[in-house]
Amino acid sequence: MQTSLFRFALVSIVLLAGPLAAQSPAPEKKTDVTPLELPGSEPRIFRTVGDAELRLHIVKPAGWSATDKRACLVSFFGGGWVSGTPESSIRWAKWAAAKGLVGIAPDYRTRTRFQGTPENCVSDGRAAVRWVQAHAAELGIDPAKVIVSGGSAGGHVAAWTAIAGPGPDEGDPAPELSPAALILFNPVTDTKEGGYGGPKRFGNKPERALACSVPDRMPTKMPPAIVFHGTADATVPYANSVAFRDKLVATGNRCELVTFEGLGHSYYSSKFGEAGKAALKKTEAEAAAFLSSLGLL
């Protein structure tokens, strides 16, 4: 009798647990948190827009002094203008500092954290470079030796720092000086139909997409650039980087395109295993050689 009662109780628990388990909420997705500081760096507020305080994170090399006239690398994170934080771009700032440069990883107004638009992202990136140039003396850098880098949408923000004249956002002046060089990783360049996202990323307004498109807005003279891209990129078309390189070279600019056969977006990330590790090693070596050839490293 006791055995029967035990079995009945056990079956009842299982039957009740099933519906309860099914009703349990799914684990929440990780949301981006704006970093107020990052290990190994010094935060500074470079822009305030409404309630948003935008910070950049400065990594100084060994032996740094405010009287230095060092080159500087400003590195922007990616995330489709939607997500991402300087936590992912600080690695390049630290890479630069290890090479003797001042490394800086700025924030900008993504949609997730600040309800920002692509135009806001561009404006914030340009404001960050203007701030760096204006504070060159206290940063120990030469304002004429500011290198700007970025991956994916961060590459789009980076490229826009080299475009003179007003940007696509209201009240968006260009930096005082054009960057000394651009280092771009699978960058968003063409934002029109056939580029990254197209008009749907711009409220289905083709005129906004056109106004943000780097190849359609860049001047004849651009800084020397090196572009890294995987041929199997299903997010940002590899063909866009080929066209970007070709247009720059056709107008007398220096642009190198380093290709990674068969690798996709964020080609040097851990998701590509050993191939990704090898790609990262090659990227670092090629970027260093490029900067050395310009006398910036």
User: What does the pLDDT look like over 26-83, one tens digit per residue?
Assistant: 444 568 999 999 999 999 999 999 999 999 999 999 999 999 999 999 999 999 999 9
Instruction: Identify the bridge partners of residue 225 per DSSP, sorted by sequence position.
Output: 182, 255
User: What does the pLDDT look like over 126-146, one tens digit per residue?
Assistant: 999 999 999 999 999 999 999
Domain boundaries, the chain: 43-293
Torsion angle in degrees (nearest 10) through CA of 106, 294, 178, 283:
-40
User: What does the pLDDT look like over 208-238, one tens digit per residue?
Assistant: 999 999 999 999 999 999 999 999 999 999 9
Percent of the chain with pLDDT over 90: 88
Q: How many CB atoms lie within 10 A of CB 255?
A: 21
Secondary-structure class of domain 43-293 per CATH: alpha beta
Q: Which residues contact 251 (CB under 8 A, 6 or more apart)?
A: 220, 221, 222
First to last CA, the chain: 85
User: What does the pLDDT look like over 78-129, one tens digit per residue?
Assistant: 999 999 999 999 999 999 999 999 999 999 999 999 999 999 999 999 999 9
If you search the block for the tokens 């993504």, which residue do you land on? 110
Per-residue model confidence (pLDDT) at position 30: 66
